[in-house]
């Protein structure tokens, strides 16, 4: 049985503001393991738009749930990739030494730490050939893309899909999942490097947004996943077929008070009066979807894309980079 040290490194947040100002690396106790939990020695995690929003406290409306003066959960991070160190008394399908990926869920101590204790139902065994960094980069982005393409759009053979922001974390996963489901995929991105990346992931068509505005073209789509929000809802809907659907998923844009919540409110209202506009997609991580992602990865149909990798000591820099909104793929933190 591996020996667990009494304390561990963790990135602590004690207020809201610039990541470099409100985050610090500290030694804290290793979290206890409940009967249904597994203790995981973290090897990698990823940084996502919700981490940036909660660290900065912008939009302000988010503090109603995370904490008014300081976050209720002092350690950020949700994506888990590591090695099981210990298991609770009721855990039967995992054992110390198993390599896993998954999510922290509602655990008080998040993934920006050396150890996490999470319900066993929130992790699955990692594909053998997948690195820990790739495993960490596949969870939140992969689950969001899977929910959009399979559950919301119900993409199938011949469905014409456009993904705005196709080179980002969710975008790169969405391109691949849509292709795996049989769709004809158009990706929107900029710079020659990103255009080549999106093509390499299987996109049938790529639009350079610096040269062409997809809302002004003649092509129409059955489903648009908008990860950017650089057009009004009405402008974006112009690119839909009469029965097409629009799903908004832009995570770091918007004003200080409501941010993307303002867009979510608008889309929810629009969805009540128009069949083309879908309301906000909110789906919680579950083991069944993690197993689907695992199967897609093992089948060679899904490959995570990593933008940059940072050590745990540079978590603040990693979050700031994500907040800039130009990450190519997913940002990963290694322990």
Q: Which domains does the chain have, with CATH numbers?
A: 7-138+304-334 (3.90.180.10), 141-273 (3.40.50.720)
pLDDT at 326: 85
The model's pLDDT over 115-124, given as tens digits with 9 standing for 90+, comes to 999 999 999 9
Q: How confident is the model at residue 4 (pLDDT cuts 50, 70, 90)?
A: confident
pLDDT at 66: 61
Residues 39-66 have a mean pLDDT of 82
Structural element, H or E, at residue 26:
strand 23-29
Burial (CB < 10 A; 0-12, 13-18, 19+), residue 282, is exposed
Residues 306-323 have a mean pLDDT of 97
Count of C-beta atoms within a 10 Å radius of residue 156? 12
DSSP code of 37? E
Say how far apart CA 319 and CA 11 lie, in whole Å: 12
Cα–Cα nearest to 138, from 203, 79, 53? 79
The model's pLDDT over 265-283, given as tens digits with 9 standing for 90+, comes to 444 444 444 455 454 455 5
Give whole-number Cα distances, 155 to 99, 151, 160, 277, 295, in Å: 32, 8, 9, 16, 18
Question: Taking a C-beta distance cutoff of 8 angstroms, is the pair 178, 198 a contact?
Answer: no
Structural element, H or E, at residue 206:
strand 205-208
Residue 62 phi, psi (nearest 5): -65, -20
What share of the chain has pLDDT > 70, as a percent? 85
Peptide bond into 278 cis (omega under 30): no
Q: How confident is the model at residue 261 (pLDDT cuts 50, 70, 90)?
A: very low
> In this model, does residue 256 exceed pLDDT 60?
no
pLDDT at 68: 58
- Averaged confidence pLDDT in the chain: 89
Residues 82-103 have a mean pLDDT of 97
> Highest mean pLDDT: which of 227-231, 252-256, 276-280?
227-231
Q: How confident is the model at residue 1 (pLDDT cuts 50, 70, 90)?
A: low
Pairing, β 221-226 against β 160-164? parallel
pLDDT at 62: 52
> In this model, does residue 105 exceed pLDDT 80?
yes
> In this model, does residue 19 exceed pLDDT 70?
yes
Q: How confident is the model at residue 65 (pLDDT cuts 50, 70, 90)?
A: low
Question: Taking a C-beta distance cutoff of 8 angstroms, is the pair 182, 188 a contact?
Answer: no
Q: How confident is the model at residue 253 (pLDDT cuts 50, 70, 90)?
A: very low
Question: Taking a C-beta distance cutoff of 8 angstroms, is the pair 174, 293 a contact?
Answer: no
Q: How confident is the model at residue 61 (pLDDT cuts 50, 70, 90)?
A: low
pLDDT at 179: 98
Q: Which residue has the higher pLDDT, 330 or 3?
A: 330
pLDDT at 330: 97
């Amino acid at each position: 049985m591996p020996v667990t040290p009494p304390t561990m490194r963790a990135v602590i947040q004690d207020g809201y503001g610039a990541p470099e100002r409100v985050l610090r690396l500290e030694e804290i106790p290793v979290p206890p393991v409940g009967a249904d939990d597994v203790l995981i020695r973290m090897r990698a995690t990823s940084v996502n738009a919700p981490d940036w929003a909660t660290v900065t406290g912008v939009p302000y409306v988010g503090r109603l749930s995370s904490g008014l003066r300081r976050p209720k959960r002092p350690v950020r991070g949700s994506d888990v990739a590591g090695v099981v160190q210990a298991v609770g008394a009721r855990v039967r399908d995992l054992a110390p030494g198993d390599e896993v990926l998954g999510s922290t869920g509602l655990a008080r101590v998040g993934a920006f730490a050396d150890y996490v204790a999470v319900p066993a139902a929130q992790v699955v065994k990692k594909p053998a050939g997948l690195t820990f960094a790739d495993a960490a980069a596949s969870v939140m982005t992969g689950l969001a893309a899977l929910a959009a393409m399979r559950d919301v759009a119900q993409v199938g053979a011949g469905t014409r899909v456009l993904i705005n922001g196709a080179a980002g974390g969710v975008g790169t996963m969405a391109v691949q999942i849509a292709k795996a489901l049989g769709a004809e995929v158009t990706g929107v991105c900029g710079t020659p490097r990103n255009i080549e990346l999106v093509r390499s992931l299987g996109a049938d068509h790529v639009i350079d947004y610096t040269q062409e505005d997809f809302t002004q073209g003649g092509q129409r789509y059955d489903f648009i996943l908008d990860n950017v929000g650089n057009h009004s809802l009405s402008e974006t809907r112009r690119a839909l077929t009469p029965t097409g659907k629009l799903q908004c998923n832009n995570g770091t844009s918007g004003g200080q008070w409501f941010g993307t919540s303002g867009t979510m409110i608008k889309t929810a209202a629009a969805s009540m009066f128009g069949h083309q506009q879908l309301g906000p997609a909110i789906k919680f991580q579950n083991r069944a979807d993690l197993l689907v992602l695992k199967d897609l990865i093992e089948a060679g149909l899904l490959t995570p894309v990593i933008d940059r990798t940072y050590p745990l000591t540079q978590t603040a820099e990693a979050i700031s980079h994500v907040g800039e909104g130009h990450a190519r793929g997913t940002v990963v933190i290694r322990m």
